[in-house]
Structure formats: structure tokens, C-alpha cells
Amino acid sequence: GYNRWATAPNGPHRLLLPHQNAEKFKQALSETEPKDWLSWTRHEVKSGESLLTISSKYNTSVDVIQQVNDISSHIIRAGEHLLVPVATLNIDNYKLSQDQRREDRQDQKRQGKRLEHVVQSGDTLWDLSRAYSVNLRDLARWNSMAPGDYLRPGQELVVWTEAEPSSAVQSGINSIMRNIRYRVRTGDSLARIADKFNVTIRQIEQWNNIQRNRYLQPGQMLKLKVNVTEVSS
């Protein structure tokens, strides 16, 4: 249930852990210093400041500041001091995009042989779990998904299995996926590049953090994940 870098101010908090990992977690926690768990700053309110501007400055929320300082209103006065919980690192160190979280989860070492499956039209997590003889929830978890999530053709999935996959999914396994760098040429567009490499415009935008409808510049480098057996000449 915790997907932030810190728990909420009010406690106590209880974490639900797999039984086999509980002792390992306790040991790791005991080897850290409480001062490393969270940092605090004492902020002196300046003229014109509000709880909203202060919370934005420290990358927290108005509710957290109110709870920590036991205040119920939004009224603050210049010269007052507030205790504010802050991250020890820049906020960017605690944020991962959905794609980055999925890649991080997929890269984790598991038991069995690691296979990469390229989703074909009509594939579902349920069908793939049966084809690879793996648990449906495990397959979803390995790829940072929910069991009921839809799959899109060309999507890459990681499968950890001891069994040989059925022939029904061999086409997905045999696809040769490569990370490549592409230099934008004069006249290129996202649509033209997507068509050339058999990917979608949305995928190119996500892989390169490109805002929608943004123009490409000649010489610009793009990161692409492509099936090299299907690239247009």
C-alpha cells in the first residue's frame, strides 16, 4: 500500500510483508540510522507566503504540513515557524515514470529462465500464462501490470519459467528486439519514423519524453526499441 518515499505523519504504520522476507526487512531496517529515514527543516514564514507555496517549495502537501504542525486552518502569519518534512535527495531521485518502473521490475532477477515475449495481436496475459506454464499474477507482477490489463501488439513482456513455451507463442519469442539510436534526417516526422521501424508514434514519444505534436530537428537522436526482423528498408 505504500508507493511514496515516506509514510504519512500519523502512525503507527504497519507493513504487510511476505513471511519469508519479514526478518530480512527487519535486519535491513536495523542497519540504518533513523536520521537517514527523513529530514526536517524549520521554515520561517515570510510575508506573502501560504501553505500552498511552502508545500510546493518542499515538494510536499498542505495536508502534511498541517498535520505535522497540528494546525487546522490555512491561515499562517509572517514570522511563524513551521516544521516541514523533506526528502534528503532531490525529488527527481524518488520519481520514476510508469515505463521506468516497469523496466526496473522487468530487470529484477527471478527463478527460472528469462524469456522476452513480444505481444502479438490477440495475446492476453491469461493465454500467455497458460502457454508459458506460469502463474497469471506472477506474470503480471513481473511486468508491473495487473492481471486484467490489456496488452498491445509490439509490447515487450518478460517471462520467467522452468518449462518450455508452447509453439503458440514461439513467434513472440523469436522476434529479435534491439535498442537502437536513430539520427533524425531532414524531412523526417514521427509518423514516417514510426512506419519505418514498425512502432507507434506514442511509443517514440514515451521512449524519448517527447511532448505530443512537437517537431523533430535534423540531427536529433532518438532511442527506439524495434524488432529488427520487421524494419522497413
The amino acid that residue 13 corresponds to is: H
**119/225 Cα distance (integer angstroms):** 14
Q: What is the pTM of this model?
A: 0.36
- Of the pLDDT bands very low, low, confident and very high (cuts 50, 70, 90), residue 169 is low
Q: How far apart are the first and last CA of the chain?
A: 48
Please check whether residue 136 is in contact with residue 126, taking contact to mean a CB–CB distance below 8 angstroms: yes
**65/83 Cα distance (integer angstroms):** 7
Query: Which helix (H) or strand (E) is 44 found in, with range?
Result: strand 39-44
Where do we find the cell 511476505?
A: 18
Please check whether residue 51 is in contact with residue 62, taking contact to mean a CB–CB distance below 8 angstroms: yes
Please state which of the four CATH numbers 3.10.350.10, 1.10.150.20, 3.40.640.10, 3.40.50.300 is assigned to the domain occupying 98-174. 3.10.350.10
Give strand pairing partners of 44.
81
Q: Which residue has the higher pLDDT, 128 or 59?
A: 128
Please check whether residue 62 is in contact with residue 52, taking contact to mean a CB–CB distance below 8 angstroms: yes
Superfamily (CATH H level) for 1-95: LysM domain (3.10.350.10)
Where do we find the cell 503480471?
A: 140
The answer to whether domain 98-174 and domain 177-227 are alike in fold is yes
Please check whether residue 47 is in contact with residue 78, taking contact to mean a CB–CB distance below 8 angstroms: yes
**What pLDDT score was predicted for residue 168?**
45
For 177-227, CATH gives 3.10.350.10
Q: What is the pLDDT of residues 70-122, one digit of tens each?
A: 888 888 999 999 988 876 555 554 545 556 667 777 778 888 888 888 887 77
- Asked if the model's pLDDT at residue 229 lies above 70, the reply is no
**What pLDDT score was predicted for residue 9?**
64
Give strand pairing partners of 159.
115
**What pLDDT score was predicted for residue 177?**
57
Buried b or exposed e, range 92-117, using 16+ CB within 10 angstroms: eeeeeeeeeebeeebeeeeeeeebeb
**What pLDDT score was predicted for residue 145?**
81
- Asked if the model's pLDDT at residue 44 lies above 90, the reply is yes
Q: What is the pLDDT of residues 188-225, one digit of tens each?
A: 888 888 888 888 888 888 888 887 667 788 888 888 87
**What pLDDT score was predicted for residue 104?**
72
Give the residue extent of every domain in the chain: 1-95, 98-174, 177-227
Buried b or exposed e, range 66-82, using 16+ CB within 10 angstroms: bebbeeeeeebeeeeeb
Question: Any idea how long the chain is?
Answer: 233
**111/113 Cα distance (integer angstroms):** 7
